[in-house]
């Protein structure tokens, strides 16, 4: 790889950094060789982290001229994301560690997508996660890979995770963001909602984090086979979204991918509301008027 730190001068945001990397490396292969990229950008070593309670870390000098990344032993996709996350800390000069020359990141830090106003530490973790996602799944390569995917399907998420060598949840977040349809993916664990990812046009999911997965959801079906995506089937939209009673309800479909240890991904696909004909609107408006006025 010909890229070096000079190529990234004055690029402080995750987006600007990845844009410079892709400019210097227009033929970046998939999966992205993240360890080789680290070596080109000043990371001397990648070592195993054995500190309890932490997923990754970075040890660097005050000038951020070189560094060592620490990554907990585990599955390769998870470890790759940790390495990319710590590389993000290393490259963003405005990321100031809690301890001089040493970053330590928990598992929850590597899942963080939003930060509380004024919380600089949380903001650093959000930016490092954005960098990791963008560098491991470059947008132009992700769009190219998704061009073959038409109807939303969790099988596509699994294919992206395999091809880009990232975790299923990281692939799910990217899939929701770049898919043209109105979709959401709910991550469930032990019968409760853990996290929700939705496209900008998908309505707010009424089941908050920590609440039980709706009892009528296909998640509770006994027919699921582990590590196999179910068929996509219609479900009642009010299980997941707020449906106004005076409007025609949209169609909603569910698909479930049951993983190990009680975790699952649930794909939600929102169908467009069919256009009402002028006659249907006239009849419905007349019915509502008679109902509210007490006439029959």
CATH of the domain at 84: 1.10.10
Say how far residue 270 (Cα) sits from the centre of its chain.
19
* Statement: residue 286 has pLDDT above 90: no
Which CATH number characterizes residue 192's domain?
A: 3.30.450
Same-domain pairing of 31 and 125: yes
Query: How crowded is residue 127: how many other Cβ atoms within 10 Å of its Cβ?
Result: 23
Q: Is residue 91 in a domain?
A: yes
Same-domain pairing of 38 and 125: yes
List the structure tokens of 136.
């491991």
Query: How crowded is residue 236: how many other Cβ atoms within 10 Å of its Cβ?
Result: 13
Mean pLDDT of the residues in the chain = 90
Among 105-109, 151-155, 291-295, the minimum mean pLDDT is found in: 291-295
Q: Per residue in 117-140, pLDDT tens? A: 999 999 999 999 999 999 999 999
Q: What is the number of domains present in the chain?
A: 2
The domain of 226 spans 149-270
Alpha carbon distance 18, 33 (integer Å): 14
205: β partners: 241
Same-domain pairing of 160 and 194: yes
Q: Per residue in 198-229, pLDDT tens? A: 999 999 999 999 999 999 999 998 788 888 99
Q: Is residue 71 in a domain?
A: yes
Q: Is the dihedral of CA 155, 160, 165, 166 positive or negative?
A: negative
Whether this prediction's pTM lies above 0.85 is answered by yes
Phi-psi region of 90 (alpha: psi -120 to 50; beta: other; left: phi over 0): alpha
Alpha carbon distance 128, 123 (integer Å): 9
Among candidate residues 136, 165, 196, the one where a domain is terminated: 136
């Amino acid at each position: 790889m010909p890229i070096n730190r000079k190529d990234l001068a004055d690029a402080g945001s995750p987006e600007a950094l990845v844009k410079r990397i892709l400019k210097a490396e227009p033929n970046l292969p998939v999966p992205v060789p993240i360890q080789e990229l680290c070596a080109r950008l000043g990371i001397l070593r990648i070592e195993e982290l054995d500190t309890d309670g932490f997923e990754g870390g970075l040890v660097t000098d005050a000038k951020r001229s070189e560094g060592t990344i620490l990554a907990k032993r585990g599955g390769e996709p998870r470890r790759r994301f940790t390495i990319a996350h710590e590389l993000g800390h290393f490259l963003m000069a405005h990321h100031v560690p809690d301890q001089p020359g040493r970053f330590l990141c928990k598992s929850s830090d590597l899942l963080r997508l939003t930060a509380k106003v004024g919380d600089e530490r949380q903001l650093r973790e959000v930016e490092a996660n954005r960098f990791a996602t963008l560098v491991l799944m470059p947008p132009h390569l992700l769009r190219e890979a998704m061009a073959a995917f038409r109807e939303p399907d969790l099988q596509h998420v699994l294919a992206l995770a395999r091809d880009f060598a990232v975790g299923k949840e990281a692939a799910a977040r990217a899939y929701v963001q770049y898919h043209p349809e109105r979709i959401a993916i709910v991550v469930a664990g032990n019968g409760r909602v853990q996290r929700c990812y939705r496209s900008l046009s998908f309505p707010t999911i009424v089941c908050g984090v920590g609440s039980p997965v709706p009892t009528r959801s296909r998640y509770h079906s006994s027919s699921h086979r582990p590590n196999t995506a179910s068929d996509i089937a219609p479900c009642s939209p009010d299980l997941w979204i707020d449906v106004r009673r005076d409007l025609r309800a949209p169609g909603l479909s569910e698909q479930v991918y049951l993983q190990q240890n009680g975790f699952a991904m649930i794909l939600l696909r929102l169908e467009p509301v069919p256009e009402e004909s002028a006659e249907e609107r006239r009849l419905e408006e007349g019915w509502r008027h008679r109902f509210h006025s007490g006439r029959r």
